[in-house]
Every structure is written in C-alpha cells, then in structure tokens.
Amino acid sequence: MKIDLAYGKKGLIIEVPENQTTVIEPIYLPGLPDVNGSLVNAIRNPVGSLPLRQSVKPNDSVAISVCDITRPMPSSTVLPVLLKELGHVNRENISILVATGTHRSNNREELVNMLGEDVVNSYRVINHSAFKQDELTYVGVTSTDIPIWMNKTWMQSDVRITTGFVEPHFFAGFSGGPKMVAPGLAGFKTIMGLHSASLISNQNSTWAITEGNPIHDQIREIAVKTGVTFSIDVTINRDHQITSCYAGDLLKVHRAACDGARRNAMRSVPQLYDIVITTNSGFPLDMNLYQAVKGMSAASLVAKDGGAIICAAECSDGIPEHGEYGNMLMSRDTPGELLEMIHAWTDGHHDQWQVQIQSQLLMKNQIYLKSSYLTNDQVRSAHLKPVTDIQHTLNHLVNVKGGKDCTICVLPLGPQTIPFLKI
C-alpha cells in the first residue's frame, strides 16, 4: 500500500504492508465554496461582539496580529477581507503585527508570501520581537505571578484584532485565538513563564486540552488582560484551504473553532504500535527540526514504550540556527542528562521547552528522522537516528520488530491528527 506523506512542498511516497498498517488522518473537509463571502458574513455577524464597522471609529488606531512564516495560516486570503471591513479607518492608523513569539523575524519575501504584496506595500507591517525591551510594555502579572510584557504597539492601539488558524497543539492544546497574543506578541520573560519546565511536564499540558491546561489557562488570562477587541479564527484542510471561519469575541470564537478542530483531528486507534511513521504536516511547519518535535509528539501518543518513530520533516530552514535549541541539544550526551539539566535550572533558557519535550519523547521511543537538508551528523547531534532512505529504514525496523507480526501506524499529516488509544 502506497502512502503520500506530507513532506516539504512536494510530499514523499512510501510503501507499507497493508495488512499490518493503520493509517490515521483527520476527517477531510473541502474548502469553503465561497471563502470571501463566508469571511464577510462571519465578520459582519460576529459571535458575542459588535461588527467592526460599528465598533471601530475612523480615527482609531488598529493593531492586527497575524501568524508568522512557520504557520500555514491563509493570511493573504483573510487580511484583504478584514482590511476592507476596516476601509473607513485611516490606513496609516493600522499596524499588522507578525506574532513571532521567540521565532526569527520574517523577511520581505516571506511577508509577501504570507500577507500578499498589496498588504505589505500598503500597510505598516512589524515583526514582533520578544527580546527588544524598548518595544515592550509591562501589563502586570497573571494569577500565577507570570510577568506580562507585551508588544508596545499592540497595547497602545485602540483596537486589537487577532487572526489565526486553529489546530491541535502539543502542549497548549490548540493554536489560534489567545496564542496570537501570548506567546505571539509577548516578551521573553512572559514566554519563559509560560514555558517553564514544571508547566511543560504537567500531564494536562498536551494535545487538545484547553480548560485545565495550566499553559493554556495562563495564555487565555493574558489575552483577556490585553483587551482583545475582535478575533478571527479559521480551520484549514491539508491543502491549506479554509474549511470554516469564526469571528467576534476572542474566547467564544476560539472555543467554537476548537470544538470543530477537535472533532476532525482526534482519531481513535485500537492498539499501540511497534512503529509509527509521522510527518510535520509538510511546508511550512516542517521548515526546521525545532518544529518537527510536534510530529514526533503526535506519533508518541500511539507508539509502544520502546517502539520506533520515523519522522519525515524536510527541515529546509535547518535546525534552525537562531535560538538555543540546537546548542542546548548538543550540550549533553543523553536525553536523560538534558532533562536533569533543564529541571535543575532556576532561570529559564530560550527554547528549553522544545528540548524538554523532545528529551521526554526520546526516553520512551527510538526516533528516526528523514530530512533532505540536515546532515547525518546534525541529526545525531540532536539525539536522533538519521534516515537516508525511509523505505529501507522502515523495512529494516519491520524485520527487527517481528516481521509479519510487527504493527505499523502512519500519520501522513503528522500533528494535524491526534491519535488516541480507544479504551
């Protein structure tokens, strides 16, 4: 049986034994037949808030939060519709903030691909920086004493609008909504508070849980404190087409979008598996190894203890070079030593959360990585096993793990699918 894995922009085809393999994918929903019309209708008939044309005055300053290049958010479709609804507002009063969190800034070419050339040429577009203190302002603390530092332009604007897409997230529950504020537009101190070792290791800091998830609870609290005026969330299919859209009150919109995404993404399986093949949903999410941890995490949900995970992630942007993720991985010889180091820190370090999660996964599973851009040495330095030919590796592992008795699960879309054991 041939399976097309989401890998880079072109995909990767593998062949698996049909009678030994379970393929798990989200329910496929077609793109909306009239995307622009659906967006207009959602914006003009919002949930729990007034339409923008009624609530936003011509001289108001407006800040719009948008996803960065690592997310397949169709901003080039959503933004023109949103900006047209804000056509009565002075254009020079509108700022589009790229919610990078601690990710790198996006260059002009990337911004054009993300937002559209007309938007980039016509509006002020700002890459948020979590590290530039003069671009941040202090808002207060959360109920658990996390300091809230936020993008100054965001907080100084009269109107604050989030735009995001909702999919399962490996420790925040779901993306979109409140995450477009924090960590998206938050300062480094705030982000570190949200990604502490204790919060990351909490059993509720996981896929598809928002209520009672200590990370998402704090993210939601921060977003509410900033006073989000209006929110737009969409869901998308594997072709990056919009399948649903919601607009209005931040929390009501996000809750509705999460409910829909949860129904489509969560798929039950009858057993745990010897081998789980996963991806990181293809480009742009599989741009680097840092992001690919999400696909590994999804696979680990249904892999046996000691089982093998094969992750296909192109990693066109490398490990990446920015941040501390790569250097931190290489600073210790084993995943166990990495976990000891992270839990011993009293002060947080940039990217420690990704290293922590990856190390936790490696304590449970052997993880193999197929990448077209990372060298074998780079893969080994990340405590992973390099794969040159994914078919050869799969065939070898099948023989090692029982031949015809070996059980295989494939997640062609990686973290777009959240598999769980049916009890």
CA distance 120 to 266: 36
**pLDDT over threshold 90, residue 388:** yes
Please name each of the domains of the chain with its CATH number.
Answer: 2-27+270-421 (3.90.226.30), 35-264 (3.40.50.11440)
Proportion of the chain in helix, strand, coil states, percent, rounded to 5: 40, 25, 40
- Which H helix or E strand runs over 21? strand 21-23
pTM here is: 0.92
**pLDDT over threshold 90, residue 37:** yes
The predicted model gives 344-370 an average pLDDT of 95
> Taking a C-beta distance cutoff of 8 angstroms, is the pair 253, 233 a contact?
yes
Question: Which tens digits make up the pLDDT trace of 92-123?
Answer: 999 999 999 999 999 999 999 999 999 999 99
Closest CA to 114 of 67, 184, 180: 67
Per cent of the chain over pLDDT 90 is 96
* Backbone φ, ψ for residue 148 (5° rounding): -105, 105
The predicted model gives 169-176 an average pLDDT of 96
The pair of structure tokens assigned to 376 is 């074998």
Question: Which tens digits make up the pLDDT trace of 366-378?
Answer: 999 999 999 999 9
pLDDT of residue 323: 87
Model confidence band, residue 348 (pLDDT cutoffs 50, 70, 90) = confident
Model confidence band, residue 321 (pLDDT cutoffs 50, 70, 90) = confident
Question: Which tens digits make up the pLDDT trace of 221-253?
Answer: 999 999 999 999 999 998 999 999 999 999 999
The pair of structure tokens assigned to 4 is 């097309």
| Residues whose CB falls within 8 Å of the CB of residue 61, separated by 6 or more in sequence, listed in order | 93, 94, 95, 156, 157, 158, 159
Model confidence band, residue 423 (pLDDT cutoffs 50, 70, 90) = low
Model confidence band, residue 22 (pLDDT cutoffs 50, 70, 90) = very high
CA distance 218 to 230: 19
pLDDT of residue 322: 85
Closest CA to 282 of 114, 106, 413, 103: 413
pLDDT of residue 422: 77
CA distance 423 to 261: 22
The answer to which of 262-266, 346-350, 392-396 has the lowest mean pLDDT is 346-350
The predicted model gives 10-34 an average pLDDT of 96
**pLDDT over threshold 80, residue 203:** yes
Q: What is the 3-state secondary structure (H, E, C) of the chain?
A: CEEEECCCCCCEEEECCHHHEEECCCCCCCCCCCHHHHHHHHHHCCECCCCHHHHCCCCCCEEEEECCCCCCCCHHHHHHHHHHHCCCCCHHHEEEEECCCCCCCCCHHHHHHHHCHHHHHHCEEEECCCCCHHHEEEEEECCCCCEEEEEHHHHHCCEEEEEEECCEECCCEECCHHHHCCCCCECHHHHHHHCCHHHHCCCCCCCCCCCCCHHHHHHHHHHHHHCCCEEEEEEECCCCCEEEEEEECHHHHHHHHHHHHHHHHEEEECCCEEEEEEECCCCCCCCCHHHHHHHHHHHHCCEEEEEEEEEECCCCCCCCCCCCHHHHHCCCCCHHHHHHHHHHCCCCCCCHHHHHHHHHHHHHCEEEEECCCCCHHHHHHCCCEEECCHHHHHHHHHHHCCHHHCCEEEECCHHHCEEEECC
CA distance 369 to 375: 11
**pLDDT over threshold 80, residue 188:** yes
Model confidence band, residue 421 (pLDDT cutoffs 50, 70, 90) = confident
The pair of structure tokens assigned to 66 is 């948008």
pLDDT of residue 347: 82
